[in-house]
Amino acid sequence: MLAVGPGPGHGKKVILRYIRAMLADAAARAAELDRLMRPAPRPGAHQVAVLALDGVYPFELGIPHRVLGSADGRYEVRSASVDGRPVRTDSDLTVTPAHGPEVLADADTVIVPPYAVTAASAAVPDPRALAALARVRPGARLVSICTGAFLLAAAGLLDGRRATTH
């Protein structure tokens, strides 16, 4: 007897395609809901720039956004890379900050999250990162998380200031 119609496993493929489409739709709706529930920055909100460097730890990159971004619109948190391009994390992820280094010039607070530091990178930091930090205006609050302090020091931003790290 000759069978006509979809072959074996066709039903599973259709179901998997349907499930994938449903999950993609649910993820898009969840992202939109998260955006709508996050308070919009108030006029005059404290401007925060988070500088993402190659080797950044993704969890720590997200901390300023989650903590300050949920503070009733008192902060506007923006991520930046040293050149406006995607950044490799310390794992197999790549993140694409929405901004380039220009946002550091207007920031009231600049945060440098931790990144993978080697002896070579500690001795000779990325010149693009130093150029980005040169945009920080005098009087801006400087914050680092863990190894971010090494870059602030290399950029001379800690000269004459007390600093603590672990």
Q: Where are the domains of the chain?
A: 9-38, 46-154
Tell me which of 25 and 10 has the higher pLDDT: 25
Cβ contact 66:94 at 8 Å: no
Q: How far apart are CA 87 and CA 128, in angstroms?
A: 13
**pLDDT at residue 42, rounded to an integer:** 77
The pair of three-digit structure tokens given for residue 37, joined into one six-digit string: 């529930």
Mean residue pLDDT of the chain comes to 86
**pLDDT at residue 62, rounded to an integer:** 93
Tell me which of 63 and 2 has the higher pLDDT: 63
Kindly state the percentage of the chain with pLDDT values over 70: 86
Q: Which CATH superfamily is domain 46-154 in?
A: Class I glutamine amidotransferase (GATase) domain (3.40.50.880)
Tell me which of 153 and 13 has the higher pLDDT: 153
**Lowest mean pLDDT across 55-64, 86-95, 111-120:** 111-120
Task: State whether residue 39 is helix, strand or coil.
Answer: coil
Cβ contact 17:51 at 8 Å: no
